[in-house]
Structure 1
Amino acid sequence: MITPVRSVTAACVLGATLVVLAACGARETTRAPLPAPSATSPVAEPPTLAPGPAGMTAVFEHGPRDAGRTVALTFDADMTADQGPRAAQGERFDNPGLIAALRELKVPATVFMTGRWAEEYPRQARSIGRDPLFEVASHSYSHYAFTDHCYGLPTIGEEGMRADVERAYAVFRKVGIRDAVPYFRFPGGCHDRRALEALTPVGVTAVQWDVVSGDAFATDAAAVSREVLNGVRPGSVVVLHCTRSAAPTTERVVRSVVPELRAKGFRLVKVSELIGASNGRR
């Protein structure tokens, strides 16, 4: 869960006792599964960035500023590995209204989903993953931190980092998400050299952002919308969340921001398009 500190220049995940982690869902009864891709029509491989110095995992923050007025809205579907009891007691981590709004407005989006959330809501995960409007990327399996002192999140040891990311992709395949993209967002955005080196064998591009929406725990949708509209530049990656409990304004923000961005000449795209337009630049 990411929140601003004074402005959009900082991101924060609240401590373990305060986090109400977001998740992203879709109505389970409104869309039939899409047919499997034809064997004669292979799906193009999504673009990735070449490894950085010493072969470390590359980090992508925004697309090129001079390649058109494109912007990617991204949504973190957060659920930690230890939140099963809360879900069993009735707490909902999904936001069907948000996903419905994205579909209604025809907004391409990248959903960074935890594997634990996909396990909890397999039908919703499959619905999102099979909708060509969206692409699903990894937000880890557990939503535990990949560095020390990451806003109170439990920490994964270096030896477990690769396995945690690979486990998320294994869950995606198990629940029926086809062609999850090889992009990874660190929980809380926290990473260091050690984490980037640990993930090199996985072959993912780490995706950060350059615009923090401030939707986490926000109650003023207009204020969040202003943060987005004031921060967006050509090539921006905007981080938002999708949950009815921890980010209750996000659907309203999307319904407000999307028409305004389009009126300003911005074209909404998935992260994969921004990375593809970068031609290897970070």
Structure 2
Amino acid sequence: MITRARQRAARASLAALAAAALTALSACASPSTPTRPHSPAPHHSPQKAAPPTLAPGPQGLTPVFKNAPRAKQGAPTVALTFDADMTAGQGPRARAGERFDNPALVDTLRRLDVPATFFMTGRWAEEYPAQARAIGRDPLFEVANHSYSHYSFTRDCYGLPTVAPHRMRADVERAFAAFRRAGVEHPVPYFRFPGGCYDQRALRALAPAGVTAVQWDVVGGDAFATDPRAVARQVLDGVRPGSVVVLHCTRSAAPATERALRTIVPKLRERGFRFVRVSEQIGAARAPKEGRAA
């Protein structure tokens, strides 16, 4: 009797163990159970802060930025900007072999580790989408708007064709759309008027676009220049703390720019200048005003 009782108890224990094992196996096979327990939760990087812009001007006009404050504390800053110009009518010239891009210039900026802002026309982004995308995705650079087709927003601007006032905002938005199609995911909300020409009518027309118009205080003088030493000298003579320098990223129209950079960059660094993008210059321009408001 004792032996049979022990046998029944043993069988009961084995049955219980089998049931427990089956339950555990079923739980492991359940689709609702993670296949890799104790995996860390996915990390979501914080969303990138929006680029700074200036407050609207009087009567809500588009604000205009020229240079950052002439700071006397810390390393002086300078922003190199490059206009990537191309008009709607220059497609046949590009197909015939004229180069409106300048990959060597971009490579030199990368090699020298120089942040920069590219003011790009929408037509340029359409002609060179791979280059536009590469510039736009490089954390060293930022892409800003230079209109769709480099038409003037005023009359009598270096002989450029003009954009009708009721088409000005649409022209800017068309350029941003061209950037997105090329793969430039995060262009900055800055706009440079073709030729630097603007008036109150243009500033009023662009106000709904929410952009900050960016001018400059140093003209590089590289348009159609062939002597890189002259371009470098003009930039070096003009730069001050907080300066914005306008240069060009078009091989056919500004063939000396890349070579001039090889002199400009080391010389300014010898003077203690730190290279920044326009967004940092605008942020610096906003800071004193925000401090006074507080």
String of CA shifts for 1:190-225, please: whole Å, max 9, x gaps: 000000000000000000000001011111111111
More helix by percentage: 2
String of CA shifts for 1:39-70, please: whole Å, max 9, x gaps: 64211100000000000000000001016400
Task: Determine the structure 2 residue equivalent to 1:55.
Answer: 60
Task: Determine the structure 2 residue equivalent to 1:5.
Answer: none
Summarize the Cα distance change of 1:281–1:146 in structure 2 as closer, same or farther, 3 Å threshold: farther
Which of 176, 183, 207 does residue 183 from structure 2 map onto?
A: 176
**Structure 2 counterpart of 1:49, which letter?**
L
Distance 2:286 2:83 in 1: 25
Maintained 8 Å contact 1:141/1:167? yes
Task: Determine the structure 2 residue equivalent to 1:167.
Answer: 174
Q: Matched residue of 2:89: which SS?
A: coil
* TM-score for the superposition, normalised by structure 2: 0.81
Distance 1:198 1:232 in 2: 32
Uncovered stretches (5+) of structure 2, i.e. residues with no partner? 1-42, 290-294
Which of 270, 273, 276 does residue 277 from structure 2 map onto?
A: 270
Distance 1:279 1:117 in 2: 31
String of CA shifts for 1:94-126, please: whole Å, max 9, x gaps: 111100000000000000000000001111100
**Structure 2 counterpart of 1:229, which letter?**
L
**Structure 2 counterpart of 1:250, which letter?**
T
Q: Matched residue of 1:268: which SS?
A: strand
Q: How does 1:38-77 map to 2 (within 5 A)?
A: 40-66=45-71, 68=74, 69-77=76-84
Post-superposition offset of 1:92: 1.1
Distance 1:79 1:281 in 2: 37
Distance 1:262 1:45 in 2: 29
Task: Determine the structure 1 residue equivalent to 2:26.
Answer: none
Distance 1:242 1:156 in 2: 23
Maintained 8 Å contact 1:50/1:280? no
Which of 193, 200, 208 does residue 193 from structure 1 map onto?
A: 200
Summarize the Cα distance change of 1:280–1:206 in structure 2 as closer, same or farther, 3 Å threshold: farther
Distance 2:221 2:45 in 1: 44
Q: How does 1:58-207 map to 2 (within 5 A)?
A: 58-66=63-71, 68=74, 69-207=76-214
Distance 2:100 2:227 in 1: 20
String of CA shifts for 1:231-251, please: whole Å, max 9, x gaps: 000000000001221111101
Task: Determine the structure 2 residue equivalent to 1:225.
Answer: 232
Uncovered stretches (5+) of structure 1, i.e. residues with no partner? 1-37
Maintained 8 Å contact 1:49/1:280? no
Distance 1:214 1:121 in 2: 24
Maintained 8 Å contact 1:147/1:195? yes
Distance 2:287 2:207 in 1: 16
Maintained 8 Å contact 1:62/1:209? yes
Structure of greater relative contact order (alpha carbons < 8 Å, 6+ residues apart): 1
- Decide which structure has the larger Cα Rg and report it: 2
Q: Do residues 242 (structure 1) and 249 (structure 2) align?
A: yes
Q: Matched residue of 2:80: which SS?
A: strand
Q: Matched residue of 1:76: which SS?
A: strand
Distance 1:264 1:186 in 2: 31
Post-superposition offset of 1:281: 7.0
Task: Determine the structure 1 residue equivalent to 2:261.
Answer: 254
- Equivalent pairs counted in the alignment come to 245
> After TM superposition, which residue ranges in structure 1, 4 or more long, deviate above 4 angstroms?
none
Percent identity, aligned pairs only? 71
* TM-score for the superposition, normalised by structure 1: 0.85
Q: Matched residue of 2:143: which SS?
A: strand
**Structure 1 counterpart of 2:259, which letter?**
R
Distance 2:288 2:132 in 1: 31
Distance 2:99 2:222 in 1: 17
Task: Determine the structure 2 residue equivalent to 1:22.
Answer: none
